[in-house]
Structures are given as structure tokens and as C-alpha cells.
Amino acid sequence: MPFLNDQERKTLYYICDTLIPSLEPSGGDDPVLFRASADDINLPNLMEIAYERITTREERRKIKFLLRALNNGLFNGLIAGHWSPIKDMPLPIREDLLFKLATSRHELARTGFLTFKRLAAFLFYSVREGDQPNPTWSALRYSTPPPVDPEPDPIRPHVIDKPTTLETEVLVIGSGAGGGVVAGLLAQAGHEMIVVEKGDYYADHQMPNDELTSMNTMYEKRGALMSEDSTIAIMAGSTLGGGTTVNWTASFRTPDYVLREWEQVLGFSGATGQALQDSFDAVIARTNINTDESTANPNNQKLDAGCAALGYTSEVVPRNVKGCEVCDFCNYGCQFGAKQSTTKTYLRDAYDAGAKIIVRGHVDRILHDGGTVRGAVVTVTDSDGITHNVTIKAKVVVLGAGSIHTPAIMLRSGLNNPNIGANLRLHPTTVTTGLYDDEIFPWRGAPLTRVVIDFKNLDGNGYGVWLENAPAHPGLNGQASPWTGARQHKRVVQQLPHTGNIIILTRDRDGGQVSVNRYGQPTVKYRLSKYDAAHLLFGLKESVKIHAAAGAREVASPHNDRPVFHASTGANGALDHYLASLDRRGLRPNDFALFSAHQMSSARIGGDAARGAVDPTGQSWEVRGLYVADGSALPNAPGVNPMLSIMAVAHYIAGHIASRL
């Protein structure tokens, strides 16, 4: 249903036409790319449909307010000095208006600009008509994976086609790194099991093979989950297997100093013990974590080269793969079944042991009375889109719904521990890009096979940054690339085949919060603290040095006005001058690209109810038989890509559940 009126829709048209107009190519501009425009695909209509799907009522009200404001000459005059509605402005003036919004000293203006730019750029460079490629892809020499043969023995989810009541010994909610592990171990130990997953299931051969479809079907909120103030974009899997289906396979043990902090400060007794180390070993063996299949693609090779030139350490990343086919689409699921996600390992073990797996199941609340868990109330959507109310009675309920939805379920269920939803950690991440003479094709190959850990302890207390590479497909690249004008942005996009990136991840000391809105849905509040921002800025500058040392012609920061270091001016301290300018600029909210693919600690383990939502065995302090075994149980940020940490802690918790059963 459309939610914009005619005037608002017309304003959105002018915004799209300003962001992505048809331009006459000049110099080396690709004619197809530069003549393509938002109008060609009716981008405003696509955006309105997308907003309707991904935003709350309150967010839609804000969008309507922004559209009305941009059609007001007084607002535009105060923001940009152009005293007329956007509809009356020629294209160059509209460009200047949007640029001044993007770089305004007012956070609300910057947020408003990004509200439109992020979605417009992602859709424009990812949308397809039927099976035809996006028309801009030819300029990038980009293509999607070909179809593969059907998987011979896929998981067959349990069919729910009417309201019903089910009974089981163990109910696991969520199927990713936490829930999937617990389900596999307990089902194999002979315990009756039901697994409920909010997302859908895709066998290997059913994995979507383009960005837009993948985001729409396999990511939380269609890939558009944001913090409440839109300062940080949050990528979270929402499909059977959760994040293990769509992540980049990096698999690190939790550092010893983090385990000591968990035990000594936060009361996770056993964090430094042998049992947890045995859980790490078991998960590594079951998911085939190894470095033999961590071949560096050109993007990772540039990271290697820059580190070698500067004397930094670039380590090989262990990955949970077996027979990796390097399909160029790792972050959207593995068509070849090489990624050892929970659907290929622990969840498959549960299924083979007789567990019922229910997909498209939204858990409304946990049932409990007298301080003991009784089950859950679930709304299941069948394959025809019809919803059914399902009550599942269980002796044990394990929450593995992830660090956004696990605390939301607990809050909807009437639990009151103050740590529920608090202490959210996100490993805030930003990115720098380097333009190289060599072809990089940053979407090709295994996406993340090298890591720089030299800066992980900047404060002497285990807090700092680490550097990696990321896959860059056209849609996400267009979304993340700063826009200072239509021609500039298209030229940056056209350079994608020669663009390398380095992402900077922070072990955040200071956290955020998950709460529920009036409709019971989770909202994320998170502000990058000055302490953590200082670390992120340090890592950003180090990544610039690495790009320059690796031979990049240009290096760009993630700021909205895209300040660029040109290597041709590298003499006479030009690089130092550029780095000093980044210091002066700092990291203001919504003035630079900030995102997270890791969510943790929002229902954390603690030595007592004052320090955690659950005890050191994962059991709720408030409800007997209710456990948390996912990223939200981690006491704080591990400071490494967290999949293995989550799986090992879940394995450890499963052992405690089994002993009590």
C-alpha cells in the first residue's frame, strides 16, 4: 500500500533524479552507466515499496516529514542557502542542496540525506528485471553465480498448516551459531527436539543468486536494520542457519585475555576452564575450521602487501569450509554447500536425529509460571502466507534468536532482569577504499582470508581494532560509497573493479540497548562512544597507510564528502597532512559509513543477577528451564569475529542443559 501522497511522491522523484540522473559521458565515463538513471527503473516507486516493507509507522512519519521539508523553501534556505522548494530547483542546485545536507553540521540533516541515499543507491545497482542483469553491471564486468544442481537430501521443515499445540522435551528458538549447536547436541543425545526459526529455509541450490533477493529473503529487516537514530547499519542473518548461513566464515577462538575478563570481572565461572576449551576444540572439528582453504583474493593480497611494506602482521584467517568452490557469493549463502554452517553440521545432526524444524515461526512470548518455563506461543506463516497460532509445550526452552530478538522475546514475556536488552555490543565497523592499477574485483574469491591484529590492544586493557577485507558487490558498494555529486558517485562506482577495501572493526567497550516498541518489536539504541570512536579513527588512519603502502593511486576515507589522498602527491609529508586532516575531522554521527555485522551481549552471562541476564550455565536468573545460548549470552565483545565464540559457548551451555535433563 502506498503511504506517500502525490506531493511527497513527487519530492522523492526529484531526490532520486538528483542522486542518480542520466548524464552525458565524458572522458572515460562508461556510456551505459552514465546514461542510466533512476527514472529508467522507476526508482521512487521501488523505494516507496521498500520503505513500506522495512520501516515502522514512526519511521514512515519521519520520511514523510523529510519529504515535506525538502519541498519547503524556508527549510532549504536555512540548510543550504537555496530558498525554494526542491521541485523548483535545476539539477545543479538540487545537487548542492543534497551535498549540504550530507555534510551539514546538524546531525538530523545528515541523517535525512542518508535515509534516501542509502536505499536509492543500493536498489539502483542491485535491482533486476526478471532474469536480466542490472544494466549497470556491464560497466563493472559483474555477474551473478550460475544455477547449480539440486541438493540431493535437503532438510525438510515440519509443515504447519493449521492452529495446533505441540509438545516436546526441548524447544530451541533460533537456528544459527547458538541455537543450531544446542539443537544438534541435545537431539543427538536422544532428547526430543523442536527448532523454531523466524526466517525461511533455502537448500544449497535454492540460495538466491543476486544481492537484492538475498537481502530481501535472508537478512533481518531485508538488510535495512538500523539503530534508532540511523547512525549504524546492522547486518543480521534471518534464515535457517542464521548468521552462519550468510557470514564470511572467519572463525577465531576467543582471546585468553577476554576469557579472563569474562571470568574475573563479569563472573562467567568456567570461562578460563578446560571444559570451554574442549567445546572450542569440538566445534572446530565439527565445522572443519582450517587455514588450508584460505586463499587470498586480490583484495586480501593488497592487505598482505601493505602490511609487509610497513612491518605489520597479516595473519591467515581460519575458515569453516570444506571444498570451497570460491563462488564469489559467500555473504549471500553457499550454493555449493562448502560453508560448514549449522545447516550443514549441527542443525543437520538435529534433523537426522528426528528433530522437527519449523521455519517462518515468530515467537510471540515464552510461557512460564511459578518461575518455571512451560513453552512458547508462536505465530507460523505457511508457504501460502497464511498465519497459524501454535502453542509449543516444552520442559526446556533455549533462546538462540540472536542479540536483537532474544532480549525482545524475554521482554515480551515479562522478564525483568535489568541486563535484558542492556550491554549490547556491535563491533562498530567502518571502511576505507583504495584505487589500484591492478584489477581487484572485490566481490570475487573468498572474501576474508587475512587479518591485521597489531592494534587490538590500544589501551592496554584489551580494547582496540583489527583490520580485514570485505566483499563488495554493486548494491552495497553503491550504498556505502560517499556521494558528493551524481557524476562523482558514478565514477566511484565505475572504479569498483579496481577498488580494494579495508574494514576496521572495534572491540567496543561501551554498549547500547535493545528495547521493544509499542508493537513489541525490537529497537536498537546505540551511539559510538568517544572512547570507542578514538580507537576506530586510529584504525582508519592505519588502514589508509596500508592502502598507500600497497600501491593505491588514491585512498578515500568513509566520510560523506569523501576526502581523498592522492599518491601522486605523496612527497613532502602529504600523507601525514591527510592523516592529520582526518584527526581534525573526527567521526561525527552520520558523517561517515558505520555498520555492524556482529551483535552480542544483550542478555549476557553474569556471575549474579546484577551482572547478567543468565547464570554461568546459560540459565535465566528468573525462570528455571529457560536458557540463552547465542551471541547475546557473551559477557561482552570478544574482539574477534564472534561466530566461533558463540558456537563454543553454546556447546558449553548445551553440556549443562544435558546434565540437568
CA distances from 261 to 48, 61, 457, 606, 633 (A): 47, 44, 14, 11, 15
Residue 502 lies in a domain: yes
> In 3D, which of 507, 431, 508 has the Cα closest to residue 469?
431
Residue 434 lies in a domain: yes
Of the pLDDT bands very low, low, confident and very high (cuts 50, 70, 90), residue 571 is: low
pLDDT value, residue 326: 75
Q: Hunting for cell 529487516 — which residue is that? A: 221
pLDDT value, residue 130: 86
Own/partner contacts of 63-66, CB < 8 Å, gap of 24 or more, are 63/115, 64/3, 64/4, 64/8, 66/112, 66/115, 66/116
pLDDT value, residue 573: 85
Domain boundary pick from 577, 596, 615:
596
> In 3D, which of 651, 656, 644, 636 has the Cα closest to residue 264?
636
Beta strands in 209-325 (DSSP E): 233-234, 289-290, 314-316, 319-320
> pLDDT tens digits, residue range 203-217?
999 998 899 999 999
Name 369's Cβ contacts closer than 8 Å, sequence gap at least 6. none
Q: What is the mean pLDDT of the chain?
A: 96
Domain boundary pick from 111, 140, 169:
140
Angle at 482 between CA 514 and CA 454, to 5 degrees: 70
Q: Yes or no: say if 400 and 409 are a contact pair by the CB < 8 Å rule.
A: no
The number of distinct structural domains making up the chain is 2
Active site positions, annotated: 598
Residue 548 lies in a domain: yes
pLDDT value, residue 145: 84
pLDDT value, residue 39: 96
> pLDDT tens digits, residue range 497-513?
999 999 999 999 999 99
pLDDT, average across residues 267-277: 98
Q: Which amino acid is at 219?
A: Y
Residue 113 lies in a domain: yes
pLDDT value, residue 392: 98
pLDDT, average across residues 244-267: 97
pLDDT, average across residues 3-17: 96
Residue 572: is its pLDDT beyond 70? no
Q: Yes or no: say if 260 and 276 are a contact pair by the CB < 8 Å rule.
A: no
Half-sphere exposure (CA, 13 Å, Cβ side) for 468?
26
Return the percentage of the chain with pLDDT > 90, whole number: 94
Residue 186 lies in a domain: no
Residue 577: is its pLDDT beyond 90? yes
Of the pLDDT bands very low, low, confident and very high (cuts 50, 70, 90), residue 570 is: low
H helices then E strands: how many in the chain? Answer: 21, 20
pLDDT, average across residues 92-98: 97
Domain boundary pick from 596, 620, 655:
596
pLDDT value, residue 331: 87
pLDDT value, residue 569: 73
CA distances from 368 to 515, 516, 630 (A): 21, 20, 21
Residue 444 lies in a domain: yes
Q: Yes or no: say if 630 and 402 are a contact pair by the CB < 8 Å rule.
A: yes
Residue 16: is its pLDDT beyond 80? yes
> In 3D, which of 84, 77, 211, 46 has the Cα closest to residue 144?
211
Cα torsion through 326, 482, 20, 107, rounded to 10: 130
Cα torsion through 72, 74, 79, 81, rounded to 10: 110
* Distance (Å, whole) CA 401 – CA 639: 21
Residue 456: is its pLDDT beyond 70? yes
> In 3D, which of 200, 47, 42, 16 has the Cα closest to residue 129?
42
Q: Which amino acid is at 180?
A: G
pLDDT, average across residues 190-219: 95
**Least confident window among 59-63, 145-149, 524-528:** 145-149
Cα Rg of the chain, angstroms: 24
Residue 188 lies in a domain: no
Residue 146: is its pLDDT beyond 90? no
Beta strands in 545-655 (DSSP E): 554-556, 564-566, 595-596, 626-628
Residue 285: is its pLDDT beyond 80? yes
Phi then psi for 282, rounded to 5 degrees? -65, -45
* Distance (Å, whole) CA 214 – CA 331: 9
**Could you tell me how many residues make up the chain?**
661
Of the pLDDT bands very low, low, confident and very high (cuts 50, 70, 90), residue 523 is: very high
Residue 134 lies in a domain: yes
Phi then psi for 562, rounded to 5 degrees? 50, 65
pLDDT value, residue 486: 97
* Domain range enclosing 111: 6-140
Give the predicted TM-score (pTM) of the model. 0.96
pLDDT value, residue 480: 93
pLDDT, average across residues 621-627: 98
Residue 148: is its pLDDT beyond 90? no
Of the pLDDT bands very low, low, confident and very high (cuts 50, 70, 90), residue 585 is: very high
CA distances from 282 to 249, 251, 532 (A): 17, 13, 34
